[in-house]
């Protein structure tokens, strides 16, 4: 199958507006050719001046030629503006459709895929990559059409007056073109891809670093604690410096070549004037000196257009990379889970196809039970919870809710069945009321207020300027991590899903907020099947069962008392946790 060009792929998003793109090229070509006409009138002005010298009163047509030059220059500008209006209308529609297509597709993807990309990288693809296509269609393509037409018009002008001087002025053009081809070849395309990768990586790590600032402030760490972010910055710095140094010599020779046309013209003029300087030779030489700067400008435009073509090609590839991600398969059946129990049967999952994040895990959670997942970081706790919510599907085995495979449950049914509160919940820049209403769009104001009250949020509401209608993030209104958690819990209470997943829900809460968050979680958990991921072991002592995960496997399970009596991994974790709490209390007492 023949690969589509970048332009064809972009025009697929243009719809009926594609005709405006083609019209902008035609108008740009007309503008470029009309823009050369004033040079001819300038030549006629110089001719009349030389012919009339020293009695310049006989140069009667200078004013008329001058006004004609101005007229054609204005016509060129007006036609070019019309070309840009057409190209911008089409470009805006293409960029808008790309963003809509991307966002519709991203919302259909499992959360496991979006987490793998990272919010910084996805935002850069949606915003920056689509903006690159907009700039390409709105400016670069019309300019390219004009830049291609200009050399043909120039060629006619250069050869029409004195073909010898015309050929001499083309020598530096040929040299500049060869150097430009060297700079904008396949090697440049690869470098541009590397540049975008480095920039994307730095953007993604920056977002993750900003999100981790509460941890930095809490524990007094520095930027160097976030090694991946610093490494991304260092990698970008090294790449940019090396790339700049590599292009230094070619760019110097290119600039010298396209600006060296005057040297060739002067040398040619000296050679051609050995038999004596004629008025015609002087006239033509002046004309070439006036018009040849257009050649350098045109070549530079073409060079930057080649670079922009590589940028937009890379942008389209990144857009296509996201669009190629497959949504989870949807079942045609309308299976309804029989109850709220959760079963994992010999489940395995790997992120990279090499090491399993989960390896042959089996467990059963009865309806209404509260279980906890504990263990070292990277043990598989979050992966297991994500599989229950079907953020992605297991590669081996199956996950059942109410004795029904999650792959056979319609997405809407499953989402109504499962609710989750993450360790770092995010609120949208809208009112508290609307943030909570996301849990149940049909809820009344009274129901939302009841959910906020159950989630221990009334102290937050009372201190806000507009109460529950206050916009988060607007007019300097921001909430702490613990307060955001309580709002997120209110949202989950309003949703009232029978299965609840809590991923370190008290991780960023201060002591006062932690007490309130725990009270809110108690209200939320009543009568539900609850799966808790916890590092604060004191919060899971009363759970029905604790599963200890290590290296993707369940190595221990049982009640808190039973696991302590076994004196295994969990007992060791509990002892370490208890000692750390005692140390903290002793430290506070000394203060």
What pLDDT is attached to residue 14?
A: 87
Asked if residue 368 and residue 298 are part of one domain, the reply reads no
| DSSP per-residue letters across 167-235 | HHHHHHHHHHHHHHHHHTSHHHHHHHHHHHHHHHHHHHHHHHHHHTHHHHHHHT--GGG-HHHHHHHHH
Q: Where in the sequence is the domain holding 586, given as residue range(s)?
A: 342-426+495-590
The span from the CA of 583 to the CA of 581, in Å, is 5
588 CB-near residues (< 8 Å, 6+ apart): none
Per-residue pLDDT of the chain (591 residues; tens, 9 = 90+): 456 677 888 888 888 888 999 999 999 999 988 988 888 888 778 777 777 777 766 667 788 888 999 999 999 999 999 999 999 999 999 989 999 999 888 888 877 777 777 666 788 788 888 888 888 888 888 888 887 887 777 777 766 666 677 777 777 777 777 777 766 656 666 666 677 677 767 766 666 666 555 544 444 445 544 677 777 777 777 777 877 777 777 778 877 777 777 777 777 777 777 766 666 777 777 777 777 777 767 766 766 666 677 778 878 888 888 888 888 777 666 678 888 899 999 999 988 777 888 999 999 999 988 899 988 888 888 889 888 888 888 989 999 998 888 888 888 888 888 888 876 667 788 888 998 998 888 889 999 998 888 888 888 888 888 888 888 876 667 787 778 888 888 888 888 889 988 877 555 555 565 677 677 777 777 888 989 887 778 778 888 999 999 989 999 999 999 999 998 888 988 888 787 665 554 444 445
Residue 480 resides in a domain: no
Domain boundary among 261, 289, 323: 323
The C-alpha atoms of residue 86 and residue 17 are separated, in whole angstroms, by 9
Nearest-angstrom CA–CA distance, 490 and 521:
9
Backbone angles phi, psi at 500, to 5 degrees: -125, 130
Helices (H), 440-540: 445-454, 458-463, 481-495, 511-525
CATH of the domain at 113: 1.20.1560.10
The dihedrals phi and psi of 13, each to the nearest 5 degrees, come to -95, -10
By CB neighbour count within 10 A (0-12 exposed, 13-18 middle, 19+ buried), where does 386 fall? buried
pLDDT in the model for residue 304 = 66
For residue 472, tell me if it sits in a domain. no
What pLDDT is attached to residue 513? 59
Angle of CA points 228, 510, 539, to nearest 5°: 95
pLDDT of residue 220: 46
| Stated pTM of the model | 0.63
CA nearest to 363, candidates 490, 518, 544: 544
On whether the CB atoms of residues 283 and 43 are closer than 8 A, the answer is yes
pLDDT confidence of residue 207: 62
What b/e string do you get for 20-39 counting C-beta neighbours within 10 Å, with b at 16 or more?
bbebbbebbbbbbbbbbbbb
Q: How far apart are CA 128 and CA 116, in angstroms?
A: 19
Q: What CATH number does residue 546 fall under?
A: 3.40.50.300
Tokens linked to 474? 């607007």
- By CB neighbour count within 10 A (0-12 exposed, 13-18 middle, 19+ buried), where does 88 fall? middle
Longest dimension (CA), the chain: 117
| Nearest Cα residue to 183 out of 133, 243, 250 | 250
Question: Both 520 and 393 in a single domain?
Answer: yes
88, 140 Cβ separation under 8 angstroms: no
Q: How far apart are the first and last CA of the chain?
A: 74
- Main-chain phi, psi angles of 225, to 5 degrees: -70, -20
Q: Are residues 418 and 530 in the same domain?
A: yes
Establish if 484 belongs to a structural domain: no
| CA pair distance 518, 505, nearest whole angstrom | 9
**List of residues 6+ apart from 369 with CB closer than 8 A:** 529, 530, 544, 545
Q: How far is CA 550 from CA 40, 204, 310, 401, 557, in A?
A: 81, 28, 46, 24, 12
Please indicate, yes or no, whether residues 130 and 246 belong to a single structural domain of this protein.
yes
Rounded Cα distance, 493 and 485, in Å: 12
Task: Please state, in angstroms and rounded to a whole number, the distance separating the CA atoms of residues 127 and 121.
Answer: 10
φ and ψ at 94, to 5 degrees? -65, -50
Alpha-carbon span 202 to 228, nearest angstrom: 9
Answer whether residue 98 is part of any domain.
yes
Regarding whether 142 and 229 lie in a shared domain, the answer is yes
| Tally of structural domains, the chain | 2
Indicate whether 25 and 82 sit together in one domain: yes
Rounded CA gap, 523 and 517, in Å? 10
C-alpha distances (whole Å) from 95 to each of 98, 171, 206 are 5, 41, 25
Q: Is residue 111 part of a domain?
A: yes
Residue 406: partners with Cβ closer than 8 Å, 6 or more residues away: 388, 390, 393, 398, 399, 400, 414
Residues 392 and 529 in one domain: yes
Instruction: Report yes or no: 330 and 410 within 8 Å, Cβ to Cβ.
Output: yes
Give 432: exposed, middle or buried? Use CB within 10 Å, 0-12, 13-18, 19+: buried
- According to the model, what pLDDT value does residue 453 have? 87
The two three-digit tokens of residue 457, written as one number: 């949020």
**Domain identity same for 502 and 574:** yes
CB atoms within 10 A of CB 473: 12
CB 457 within 8 A of CB 427: no
Q: Is residue 451 part of a domain?
A: no
Which of 323, 355, 387 is the endpoint of a domain? 323
Residues 47 and 116 in one domain: yes
**Per-residue model confidence (pLDDT) at position 585:** 46
Boundary of a domain, candidates 292, 323, 354: 323
Asked if residue 174 is part of any domain, the answer here is yes
The answer to whether residues 127 and 58 belong to one domain is yes
> Do 265 and 164 meet the contact criterion of CB atoms below 8 Å apart?
no
**Do residues 112 and 248 both lie within one domain?**
yes
pLDDT at position 28 is: 92
Nearest CA among 459, 456, 424, 458 for reference residue 520: 456
- Identify the CA nearest to 414 among candidates 356, 348, 490, 498: 498
CB 489 within 8 A of CB 455: yes
Q: Please compute, for residue 40, the number of CA atoms within 13 A of its CA located in the half-sphere on the CB side.
A: 16
Structural domain contains residue 177: yes
Same structural domain, 70 and 166: yes
DSSP 118-185: -HHHHHHIIIIIHHHHHHIIIIIHHHHHHHHHHHHHHHHHHHHH-HHHHHHHHHHHHHHHHHHHHHTS
């Amino acid at each position: 199958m023949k690969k589509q060009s970048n332009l064809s792929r972009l025009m697929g998003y243009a719809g009926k507006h594609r005709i405006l793109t083609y019209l902008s090229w035609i108008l740009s070509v007309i503008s470029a050719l009309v823009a050369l006409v004033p040079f001819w009138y300038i030549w006629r002005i110089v001719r009349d001046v030389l012919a009339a010298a020293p009695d310049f009163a006989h140069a009667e047509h200078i004013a008329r030629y001058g006004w004609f030059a101005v007229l054609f220059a204005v016509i060129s500008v007006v036609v070019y503006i019309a070309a840009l209006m057409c190209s911008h209308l089409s470009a805006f529609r293409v960029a808008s459709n790309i963003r809509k297509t991307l966002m519709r597709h991203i919302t259909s993807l499992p959360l496991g895929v979006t987490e793998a990309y990272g919010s910084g990288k996805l935002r850069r693809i949606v915003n920056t990559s689509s903006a690159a296509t907009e700039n390409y269609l709105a400016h670069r393509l019309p300019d390219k059409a004009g830049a291609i037409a200009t050399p043909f018009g120039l060629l006619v002008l250069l050869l029409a007056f004195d073909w010898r001087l015309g050929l001499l002025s083309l020598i530096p053009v040929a040299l500049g073109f060869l150097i430009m081809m060297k700079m904008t070849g396949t090697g440049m395309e690869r470098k541009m891809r590397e540049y975008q990768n480095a920039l994307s990586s730095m953007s993604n790590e920056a977002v993750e670093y900003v999100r981790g600032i509460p941890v930095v402030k809490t524990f007094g760490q520095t930027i160097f604690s976030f090694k991946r972010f610093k490494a991304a910055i260092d990698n970008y710095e090294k790449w940019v410096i090396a790339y700049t140094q590599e292009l230094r010599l070619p760019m110097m020779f290119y600039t010298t070549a396209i600006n060296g046309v005057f040297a060739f013209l002067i040398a040619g003029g000296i050679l051609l004037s050995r038999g004596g300087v004629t008025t015609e030779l002087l006239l033509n030489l002046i004309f070439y000196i006036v018009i040849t700067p257009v050649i350098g400008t045109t070549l530079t435009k073409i060079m930057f257009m080649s670079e922009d073509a590589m940028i937009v090609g890379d942008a389209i590839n990144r857009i296509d990379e996201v669009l190629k991600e497959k949504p989870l398969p949807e079942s045609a059946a309308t299976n309804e889970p029989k109850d709220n129990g959760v079963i994992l049967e010999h489940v395995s999952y790997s992120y990279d196809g090499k090491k399993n994040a989960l390896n042959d895990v089996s467990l059963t959670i009865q309806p209404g039970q509260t279980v906890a997942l504990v263990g070292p970081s990277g043990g598989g706790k979050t992966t297991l919870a994500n599989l229950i919510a079907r953020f992605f599907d297991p590669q081996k085995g199956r996950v059942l809710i109410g004795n029904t495979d999650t792959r056979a449950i319609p997405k809407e049914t499953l989402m109504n069945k499962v609710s989750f509160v993450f360790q770092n919940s995010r609120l949208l820049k809208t009112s508290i009321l609307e943030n909570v209403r996301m849990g149940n769009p049909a809820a009344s104001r009274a129901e939302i207020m009841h959910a906020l009250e159950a989630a221990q949020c009334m102290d937050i509401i009372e201190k806000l300027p507009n109460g529950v209608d206050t916009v988060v993030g607007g007019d300097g209104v921001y909430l702490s991590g613990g307060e955001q958690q309580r709002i997120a819990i209110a949202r989950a209470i309003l949703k009232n899903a029978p299965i609840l997943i809590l991923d370190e829900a008290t991780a960023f809460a201060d002591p006062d907020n932690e007490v309130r968050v725990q009270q809110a979680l108690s209200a939320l958990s009543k009568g539900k099947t609850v799966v808790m991921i916890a590092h604060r072991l004191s919060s899971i002592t009363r759970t029905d069962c604790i599963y200890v995960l290590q290296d993707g496997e369940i190595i221990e399970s049982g009640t808190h008392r039973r696991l302590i009596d076994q004196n295994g991994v969990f007992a060791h974790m509990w002892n370490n946790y208890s000692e750390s709490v005692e140390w903290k209390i002793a430290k506070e007492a000394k203060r």
